[in-house]
Every structure is written in structure tokens, then in C-alpha cells.
Amino acid sequence: MRTLAFLALAAACSKEPAKSAAKPADPKVEQGQTAAAFDPANLPPPGTAPAPVPITHELDAAWTAPIKTLKGQPTTLASYKGKALMIVNVASQCGNTPQYATLEALQKKYEPKGFTVIGFPCNQFGGQEPGTAEEISQFCATNYGITFPIMEKIEVNGDAAHPIYKALEPIADASGHTGDIRWNFEKFVVSADGTKITRFSPRTKPDDPSVIAAVEAALPR
């Protein structure tokens, strides 16, 4: 069953990557049409969120594990404690890449309420994130106007998986899936108090009403 799911996700990501907007004449980054066209006001109302997984000390190692931003600045997940988080592995050349637009819409709508998306580029799925940190940053800014934090490339599966993902992989989604990240854009919503996590498949879009409900339920009280 896991093999079939993997193949289905691979097919979904086999589309040609979205073409980058033409680079502006001046050095200032401009938003591409995809980013400019998406309005957070178009997000649907929340639906019903899957039951989150209660946690106690499962993320202890993840909070303090060193990570770096795309600019090479050191940080940790602990820097975002007290906020609801959506942790998502991202890629620039996947059929799921347009999810960036709705991730940014969620960021704009819920950031004032204590929420942030955190993107982790990963090249383990079909080699669909081959770029340098600078190239990833330019792609996200130019095509999607991304304002949420994106970290340096990491691995999310296998022996070299980052400690954050080693802590997240045992969490089950609504279908009961645990273990390896299945493809680009798998999502983990962590409650602001750090006691609950809701996991979503890569094929569940960020503007799915169940995702929006999970985000709202995770916000600080």
C-alpha cells in the first residue's frame, strides 16, 4: 500500500515546474502573477479538523536542534515557541509547488493571531529542490511572495534526517500513516502550547477546510 501511495504522489509531482516570472530590470524582487492573484480573503471557512495527536516530550529534541535560515543564520524551533506552527517540507519543481501560494495566504491571514508556516526545502523526492539557498529564496520571493521563514535544505527521511523530522515521523495522520515523509509538502500543524500535532498528506492542500480548522484550533488561547 505504501508503494502505491508513493507512486501516486510521484505522478502528482511529475508535472512541469511552474515557470518563473521574468526577472525585473532592477535588482528589487517583484511578486509573480501567482502570488499577486491569491488573496487570503478567498480562503474557505474552516471545516472539521482531524483529531490531533497528543504529545508530551516527543518534540523535546526538535525544539533545540540547530537549524539555519536560507541566509545561513542559526536558529531553532524554540524561537517560534508560543506560536501555532505549520512545518512543511517544500520543493520548487514539484506538481505540489503551487501550494506555496496557499501557504502564504494562511501566513498572511493567521500570522497576526500567532501562527507561522516554516518551510524546509528537501531534495529527496525526485530531485525537485536542486537549487542553492539563494536560488530557492529568489524563486519563492519572485513567484509566490513568500514571507514565512524558510530554512536551509535538509533531509527528512533516512539516517541523515534532521532531528526535527525524526521527531515528527512517528506522528500519525488521520489515515493512520506514520513513518517516512511521503513526498514534498507534507504538513504538520503544531499547537501553540506544544501539546498537539495534526499531520496532513502532501496531497491535502493548505486551503483544505480541514487544514484551516486545524490551524485555527492550534492558535494561542
Mean pLDDT lowest among 25-29, 76-80, 149-153: 25-29
Q: How far apart are CA 150 and CA 118, in angstroms?
A: 6
pLDDT at position 140 over 70: yes
Predicted local confidence at residue 6, as pLDDT: 46
| Domains, the chain, with CATH or none | 2-14+44-218 (3.40.30.10)
Question: For 23-33, what is each residue's pLDDT tens digit?
Answer: 333 334 445 66
Q: Considering the candidates 13, 94, 122, 140, report the single residue annotated as catalytic.
A: 94
Is residue 94 among the annotated active site residues? Answer: yes
Question: For 90-105, what is each residue's pLDDT tens digit?
Answer: 999 999 999 999 999 9
Query: What is the rounded end-to-end Cα distance, in angstroms, of the chain?
Result: 39
Looking at the chain, the whole-number percentage of residues with pLDDT higher than 70 is: 83
pLDDT at position 218 over 70: yes
Mean pLDDT of 52-76: 96
Element (H, E) at 85: strand 84-90
CB 193 within 8 A of CB 212: no
Mean pLDDT of 134-138: 97
Predicted local confidence at residue 72, as pLDDT: 96
Predicted local confidence at residue 33, as pLDDT: 62
Q: How far apart are CA 187 and CA 195, in angstroms?
A: 17
Residue with cell string 518534540: 59
Predicted local confidence at residue 36, as pLDDT: 65
CB 70 within 8 A of CB 136: yes
Mean pLDDT of the chain: 88
pTM across the whole model = 0.86
Task: Name the DSSP letter for residue 54.
Answer: E
Question: For 161-183, what is each residue's pLDDT tens digit?
Answer: 999 999 999 999 999 999 999 99
More confident residue, 124 or 2: 124
Strands 53-54 and 74-75: unpaired
Predicted local confidence at residue 35, as pLDDT: 66
